[in-house]
Structure 1
C-alpha cells in the first residue's frame, strides 16, 4: 500500500521538485558561480584588450576593421558594467549566506542576486565563445585621420587652444613645439591630432609619425606610407629616394597635416622624407615637437614653447595622482604635499611620477623624508631615476662634447630657486678650467655660446632679462646626478643649498670631495680643519658667516674657486687664506670686510677678484701684489678710485675687466685717457661728479661698458651733439651696455644717447633731475632715426622706471614697439601726459606690469580700445580684399 502511495506522490510532485532544485542552485552554488564569473570576465577582458590592440595596429596600417569584430566588441562593452557591478556587490551578498551556504538571511534577495549572477555568467560564456575568427581587417581606403588614445591631462587645454589658433593661421605652414623633456609635448601633439577630427572636410589626411633621437628616415617613410595606403611587397623593395617620390606624389594631390614627434636634428622633410613643403597656396601643415629651440630655427618654422603648468593646474594634477584619501589622512600631509608639488615646478612628468610614488603614503615621516631626498638626492628614488632623470638625461647626452656636459654639471652647485647670472656662471667655468681658452675675451664668448646651447636644449631657462637664466628643480637634480657620475661617486660633489645647515658637515670623507656648495645655509662659524686634497670649488654664498678659522684653509692645495659673497656679517678673513696657492677666483662681494689679509698678496695665481658693494673696506693696498689679475671689480663700495690706485691697476698687464667707483672728475678723465684701462671698464659708478662744460668722454670705454650708475652728480650729456647726425651708428654705439641707473642727476636735459645701446635691458631714472624734459629728443635723433635706419630703439628693454621727475614731458614723441618690455613704473611725473605706446597697445597692457598715475593709466586704456577697434576694421578690410581677389581668380 505504501509503495503505491509513494509512487503516486512522486509522480504528482516531480515537476515542482525539479523546479525547486533548479531555483535553489542560485543560492547553493552562488559562491561557485561568482568565482566562475570572476575568471571568465578576466579572460574576456584580456581577449578584448588583445583584439583592440590588434585593431589599432591594423588601422595604423590603413586597413579597415571588419564589422563582425566591432559588433563583438560592442557586446563585450555592453556586458562589462553589469559584471563589474555584480562582482562589487559579491562581498555583501556572500555575507548574507548562513549554514555553510545552504540558507540566507533574506532568501528572496539572495535568490534574485544568484539568478542574475548565473544568467550573466552564461551570457559572458556565450559572448566569449562567439568571438569571430580569421582576419580582423582588410585593405580599404585609408582613413583620413585615426583618433589616438591619450591620457587624461590637466592644464594643457590652454596650450592646445594657443597651438590650434596658431596652426590655423594662413601664413603658418610649419609649426615647431619646443620644451624640456617631460613637459607634455607628445601628449599635446596627440591631442592636436584628435582635434583635427573637427577639420575632416578641410584636411584630407592627418598622419602622426614618431621620429626620436636616432632618426630613421625609412621608418618615418613607412609610417607615412602605411597611412597613405602605399605599403605592400612592391613598397618594401623601393629605395629611400623612391619612397620619398611616392609619398611626395601622394601628398601633392591632398591637403594634409603631418605630425612629427620628437625631432632632435634638422629634418629635410621634402628631400629626405618626401613631404611637400606647406604653403598658403596648398594649405597643408607640418607640426613637430623638439627639445631644442635651435631645431625650430633650422627647420624654418614658426615656434611655440610648451611651458610648465601654472601652480593651480600643477596642484590639481598632483592631487589627482596622490589621491584625496591620502591627503586627508593627516592634517600635515596636505601642507607637505604642496611643498613637494612646488618642487616639481609644473613639470607634468615629475608631477605624475612623484605623485604616484607618494600615493597611499599616510605617514608624515614618509613625506618629510621625501622632501629632504628630493632636495639632496632625488636619484635615490628608483621611480624618479628611471622614469624622470633618465628621460631628461637624453638632453644631457645630446650635448656635443664633454666641455658642454661639464659646464652643465657645474650648474648643480648653484641654488635651484635663484636667478643665475650668466656672467658669474661663465667666470666660474673659466676659473675652473672647464673652458680652457688662453685669451679671456674669447673664453667669455665661448662661455656665452655654451649658455645659449644649454638654453636651446631646455637645460637652462631664460629669464625675462638677458643677463640671467634659471634652472628647473628637476633639471637641477639631473645635473647633480650627472656630476656624481650618475650615482657612482656620490661623495664627489656635495650640494646642500638652502638645506638649513647651521654648521659645516664633518662626518664625510673630505678626501673624495672635488666640489662643494653650501649656499643659502645658516652657517655662522667655521672651525673645522678638513683634509681636502682634491677640492677645487667651494661656494659659501648667501650664508650668515661671522667667523672662519684659519685652519680651515690649510689643506686645500687645489682650490681654485672660493666664493664668500653675500655674507654681510663677515668682517674679516684669516691670514691663512694665503695657503690657497692655486686660487684663481675669489669673490668677496657684499661682505662687510674691514681689511684684506696681508697674505692675500701671495696669491699670485689669482685671476678674478670681486669686491663689489663692500662698503666697509678701509684699504686695498694689497692688490698691488696681484699683478696677474684679469677681472677686478671694486664698484659700489667704499673704495673710490684715486690717481695712485690707477697707477697700481696699470701694472696689471693681463687686465680684461674692471669695475670702479669715481667721485673726482680729474680721476675720471685720467682713467679714460688711458686706452688700455678705459677699454677694460665694464662697471662704472659716478658719485658727486660735476661736468657741465661738455659731455662725458666715454668713447674709449663704450665697447666694454655693461653698467653705468650716476648718482648725485651734475652732467651735461654722455654723447656729443655732433654724433646724433652721424650716419654710421656703429661708431657711437654702446654694444654691451645693459643697465643704466641715474639718481639725482642735474644738468642733463635728455637721455637721447640711450638709443645707441642696442642691448639695453633696464633703465632707471630717479629725481630730482629738474632739467630733464625728455628721455629721447626727437630733434636730436632725427639724423639717426631716419626712415630705413638700422636702429630700433629699446628693442631689448625689459624694464623702465621713471620716478620723481617733475620736469619730464615726454619719453619720445613717436610710437615705440618695445617688444621685450615687461615692467614700467612711472611715479610723480606730473607733466608726462602720454606714453609712446605702439598700435599693439592692447596686447602691451596684457603683458606689461604698469605702475603709473591713475590719469595716465586711464588714458592708456582708452587708446588701447581705440587702437583695437582700428585694427579690427583694418583686418575686416583685408579679409574683404582677400575674398574679392579669390573670387576674381576663380572667375
Structure 2
C-alpha cells in the first residue's frame, strides 16, 4: 500500500513540475514571442513591398509566396492576443513566478505562448528565398471600368443578341463620334464575364486612327501571356504567328475599338484568325465611325443611334449635379432647350451638362443657348471635348473635295432635310465638283461623295431617299472648321432660322466667303446695305419674307456664283443691278411673285442653273434666249410654255435639264417633236391639257423624266399600250422617274405605265378621276411580265397617297412585297376592296378618315395581314 501511495505521489509531483515549468519560463517566452513577432512583421512587410513592386510590372506572386503570407496572416491575430494579455497573466504569478492564483489558466496561457513562439520560428525559417513573382497567365476576361450609361440598354441587348448568333463571326458597331460606341464595347466586355464557360479569353484593344500593328500585337500578346524578352526580339511576322497559334487553340472574343479603315486581321500581320461558321467560338467585334469600314471588313453591321428625347434628358439631368435645375423654373426650361440642341448625342449631353452644372443664373443659361447657336467654341470644354473629337471624322476624309462638300452642308438650316440634287447643283456651281462634262457624271460623283459622308456618319440618311440630314452638333463642328477653328468667324456667316428681320451686322464683308440667312423674317434689304464682298461666292436668302431688295446690295459681289432667293412669296421684282453679278452660275427665283425679269439678266452669260419653278406671275421670260450657257432651266408649276418660248429654248445649245409647265396639247406635241428638248425634260406639269387623240407617248420622248404633275386634264393614257409587250420597254423609259402627282384627271382608266418606273418613290393620286379603276392593269402588263422580265413593281416606292377615287377597284392584282414602303394613305376609295399588302409590310399601312363600313368589308391577302 505504501508503494502505491509513493508511486502516485511521485507521478503527481512529476506532472506538477512539468506544468510548472511552463509557468516558470513564461516571462522569458513572452520576451521571445515579442521578438519573433517583430521579426515576422518586418519580414512580411518587406516581402509585401517587394511583391507590390513586381505586380506593378505585371508580374504575379508565386504560389509559395502566397502560402507563406497566408500562414503569417493566420498566426498574427493569435500573437497579438497573447501579447495583449501579457500584463494580466503576469499579475497572477507569485513566489517569484513559481505559483499562480489560477494555476490551470496560467498553465494553458504559458503553454500557448511557447507553442506560438515555436510556430512563428518555424514560419520565419520557412520563408521562400529568391524571386517572389514572375509573369503568369493573365486572366481570361478582365473587367473594364465604365461609367453608368443611359439609353444604351436596347442597343446593348441587340448587340448581344447578334453576338450570340452562330453565323456572326465579325460584328461592326458604327455611328458618329461621341455616340457611345466605346462605352458599348466596354459593356460587352464586362457582360462576357457571364460567359466564361463559352469563351476562354476576351481581349480589348484600342486601334485608333493611326493604325500601329506592332502596338496592337503587343497588347494582344500581353493578354495572351506571350510577352517577355523572347517576345521583344521577334519580328512582326513572328509575333503574328505566335498570336495566331495561341488564338487558334482558344475560344476567344476580340474587341477592337476605334477602327478607321479596313484592318486585314491576318494580312495586316496582326495574327488574328478569321472567325467562320466552323469556328463559331471565335468572334471579332469592332467600333467605327464608318459604315463603309463595316462593309470592307466583311462584318455584320449594327448602327448605334442617338438617344431618344426621354433618355437624352435623363442623361443631361444626371450630369447637372446639385439643385441647379430646381433653382429657377426658367433655368429648367432653358436646360430642356439646350438638351434638345444636343440631339441625343451622349458626348454633347455629358460635356455641356457638366459645363452648365453649377451655373445658377438665368442669363448664363440664355447666353449658353446663344453661344451654341453661333459660337460654340467660346466654351473650351465644348471645343476641346466635343468639336475636336468630332473633327477626327472630318480629318479622315483627307480629300479636299470631300472636306469642302462637307463644310457646304452646314449652310442649310439645322435639323432640316437637305435635298440631294439641290446640294449637287450648289457644289457644281461653286466649282467644288467639276460640272463641265456630262451631267450624269457630275451627279454620280456628287452622289458618291454624299454616300461617303453618310458612311462616315457626317450626314444622316432619312426615310425619303432623296434627302439627307446633318446632326446639329456635327453642323457646329463643320462651321467651326469652316471658320478656321473660330479664328475667322465671318468667313462662313450662317444665321438660319434666327428670327432676323433685317440683314445682320457684319464687321468685315471682305472676309465673308459664304452666307446663309435662310428661314428668317427679312422683308427689306435697304439702300444703306451696300456691302463690298470681293470674296463672297454663295448667298442663300431663301425662305424669307422679302418684298424689296435695293440694287446697291448687288453692286460689289464680283465672285458670287450661287444666289438663292426662292420661297420669298411677296417678292415681285428684282433690281436691274442683278446684272452686275457677272460670275453667277446658279440663280433660284422659285416660288416668288416676280412679274418681270430684269432686262439686264441676259448679261449673266455664266449662268448655268436657272430656277423659276412655281412662278406663275411672270409676263415674259424671253430674256432666257440670251443666257447662252444655261444647262438647267426649270419652269414647271409656273409660267406655261408657248410655241414662241419653245423656239427660244431651242437656242440654248448647252441645255441638259428642263422643267416645263404646259396647258395646251399643241405646245406639248411640239415640245415632244424636238428630240433634243424632250430628252432634257426633268420635270413636266400639265394643267388643263385636253388630249383626246390618243396616248401622250411620254415613253418615246422624255427618257430622262424625273417628275410628273398632271392636274385638271382630259387624257386617255401616258404611254402607248401597244408597247407593253416590247421586251426592251423597261430599259428605255421612265428609268429616272421618282415623283408622280396626278389629280382631277378624266379619261384615264389605269396607270399601268408606272410599272416601268423602277425608281419611283412617291405617288400622289387625288380625284375625282371618274374613269380610273386600276393602278396597274393585269391585262396590260402580264404580257411583258410573262416574258421573264426582271421588273419588281414599286420596289423603291416609299409613299403612296390615294384620295377621292370613287371608281378605283385595284392597286395590283396580287400581293407585293413593298420593300421600301414607309407610308400608305387611303381616303375615300369606296370600291377598293383588296390591298396587295404582305404581312411583313402591314405595320407601315396607314389609313386616315376611312369609312368604318368600308374597312369592315376590306379583303386582306392573308390572315396575318388582317390581324
Coarse TM-score class (shorter-chain normalised):
0.7 to 0.9
User: In the alignment, which residue of structure 2 is the partner of 1:103?
Assistant: none
Equivalence map 1:688-703=2 (5 Å): 688-703=688-703
Contact persistence 1:62–1:141 (CA under 8 A): no
What do residues 570-609 of structure 1 show as CA deviations (whole Å, max 9, x unaligned)?
Answer: 1111112112122111111111112111121222221111
User: In the alignment, which residue of structure 1 is the partner of 2:425?
Assistant: 427
What do residues 372-408 of structure 1 show as CA deviations (whole Å, max 9, x unaligned)?
Answer: 1111111221111111111111111111311111111
Q: How many residues align?
A: 755
Equivalence map 1:665-744=2 (5 Å): 665-728=665-728, 730-744=730-744
Measure the CA separation in 2 of the matches of 1:856 and 1:253: 66
Structure 2 SS opposite 1:389: helix
Contact persistence 2:835–2:861 (CA under 8 A): no
Equivalence map 1:490-639=2 (5 Å): 490-527=489-526, 528-637=529-638, 639=639
User: In the alignment, which residue of structure 1 is the partner of 2:173?
Assistant: 177
Measure the CA separation in 1 of the matches of 2:817 and 2:243: 44
- Alpha-carbon deviation of 1:344? 0.6
1:242 to 238, 243, 259: 238
Contact persistence 2:492–2:512 (CA under 8 A): yes
- Alpha-carbon deviation of 1:326? 0.7
Measure the CA separation in 1 of the matches of 2:754 and 2:673: 23
User: In the alignment, which residue of structure 2 is the partner of 1:438?
Assistant: 436
Measure the CA separation in 1 of the matches of 2:318 and 2:207: 31
Equivalence map 1:58-77=2 (5 Å): 58=58
User: In the alignment, which residue of structure 2 is the partner of 1:761?
Assistant: 761
- Alpha-carbon deviation of 1:628? 1.5
- Alpha-carbon deviation of 1:569? 1.5
Measure the CA separation in 2 of the matches of 1:162 and 1:741: 40
User: In the alignment, which residue of structure 2 is the partner of 1:280?
Assistant: 277
Equivalence map 1:158-557=2 (5 Å): 158-272=154-268, 273-283=270-280, 284-323=282-321, 325-439=323-437, 441=439, 442-527=441-526, 528-557=529-558
Structure 1 residue runs without a partner (length 5+): 1-47, 75-132, 870-891
- Alpha-carbon deviation of 1:242? 2.6
User: In the alignment, which residue of structure 1 is the partner of 2:20?
Assistant: none
Contact persistence 1:155–1:313 (CA under 8 A): yes
Contact persistence 2:681–2:704 (CA under 8 A): yes
Query: Cα distance 1:360–1:225, how it changes in 2: closer, same or farther (>3 A)?
Result: same
Measure the CA separation in 1 of the matches of 2:68 and 2:337: 50
Contact persistence 1:657–1:681 (CA under 8 A): yes
Structure 1 SS opposite 2:243: helix
User: In the alignment, which residue of structure 2 is the partner of 1:823?
Assistant: 823
Contact persistence 1:65–1:137 (CA under 8 A): no
- Alpha-carbon deviation of 1:236? 2.6
Structure 2 SS opposite 1:221: helix
Greater Rg over alpha carbons, structure: 2
Contact persistence 1:589–1:610 (CA under 8 A): yes
Contact persistence 2:691–2:715 (CA under 8 A): yes
- Alpha-carbon deviation of 1:751? 2.1
What do residues 512-536 of structure 1 show as CA deviations (whole Å, max 9, x unaligned)?
Answer: 2121111112211111112222222
Measure the CA separation in 2 of the matches of 1:151 and 1:559: 50
Query: Cα distance 1:771–1:506, how it changes in 2: closer, same or farther (>3 A)?
Result: same
Measure the CA separation in 2 of the matches of 1:632 and 1:218: 58
Measure the CA separation in 1 of the matches of 2:184 and 2:68: 31
Measure the CA separation in 2 of the matches of 1:786 and 1:167: 43
- Alpha-carbon deviation of 1:852? 6.9
- Alpha-carbon deviation of 1:244? 2.5
Measure the CA separation in 1 of the matches of 2:350 and 2:419: 31
Measure the CA separation in 1 of the matches of 2:458 and 2:421: 17
Measure the CA separation in 2 of the matches of 1:662 and 1:70: 97
- Alpha-carbon deviation of 1:137? 6.8
Structure 1 SS opposite 2:493: strand
Contact persistence 2:657–2:682 (CA under 8 A): yes
Structure 2 SS opposite 1:758: coil
Query: Cα distance 1:507–1:722, how it changes in 2: closer, same or farther (>3 A)?
Result: closer
- Alpha-carbon deviation of 1:763? 0.9
Contact persistence 1:173–1:286 (CA under 8 A): yes
Measure the CA separation in 1 of the matches of 2:700 and 2:735: 13
Contact persistence 2:206–2:256 (CA under 8 A): yes
Query: Cα distance 1:367–1:803, how it changes in 2: closer, same or farther (>3 A)?
Result: same
Query: Cα distance 1:190–1:703, how it changes in 2: closer, same or farther (>3 A)?
Result: farther
Measure the CA separation in 1 of the matches of 2:328 and 2:276: 58
Measure the CA separation in 2 of the matches of 1:465 and 1:70: 69
TM-score, structure 2 as length reference: 0.82
- Alpha-carbon deviation of 1:197? 2.4
Structure 2 SS opposite 1:581: coil
Contact persistence 1:796–1:819 (CA under 8 A): yes
Contact persistence 1:775–1:812 (CA under 8 A): yes
Contact persistence 2:801–2:825 (CA under 8 A): yes
Structure 2 residue runs without a partner (length 5+): 1-47, 74-128
Structure 2 SS opposite 1:586: strand
Is residue 655 of structure 2 the alignment partner of residue 643 of structure 1? no
Structure 1 SS opposite 2:463: coil
Contact persistence 2:700–2:733 (CA under 8 A): no
Measure the CA separation in 1 of the matches of 2:66 and 2:327: 50
TM-score, structure 1 as length reference: 0.80
Equivalence map 1:71-110=2 (5 Å): none
Contact persistence 1:63–1:142 (CA under 8 A): no
Structure 2 SS opposite 1:840: helix
Measure the CA separation in 2 of the matches of 1:740 and 1:700: 18
Measure the CA separation in 2 of the matches of 1:829 and 1:385: 56
What do residues 286-321 of structure 1 show as CA deviations (whole Å, max 9, x unaligned)?
Answer: 211111111111112221111111011111111111
Contact persistence 2:815–2:861 (CA under 8 A): no
RMSD: 3.0
Contact persistence 1:686–1:709 (CA under 8 A): yes
Contact persistence 1:65–1:138 (CA under 8 A): no
Query: Cα distance 1:219–1:670, how it changes in 2: closer, same or farther (>3 A)?
Result: same
Structure 2 SS opposite 1:745: strand
Measure the CA separation in 2 of the matches of 1:414 and 1:531: 24
Structure 2 SS opposite 1:714: strand
Query: Cα distance 1:786–1:206, how it changes in 2: closer, same or farther (>3 A)?
Result: farther
User: In the alignment, which residue of structure 1 is the partner of 2:93?
Assistant: none
- Alpha-carbon deviation of 1:681? 0.7
Query: Cα distance 1:747–1:502, how it changes in 2: closer, same or farther (>3 A)?
Result: same
Query: Cα distance 1:330–1:452, how it changes in 2: closer, same or farther (>3 A)?
Result: same
Query: Cα distance 1:480–1:553, how it changes in 2: closer, same or farther (>3 A)?
Result: same
Query: Cα distance 1:702–1:63, how it changes in 2: closer, same or farther (>3 A)?
Result: farther
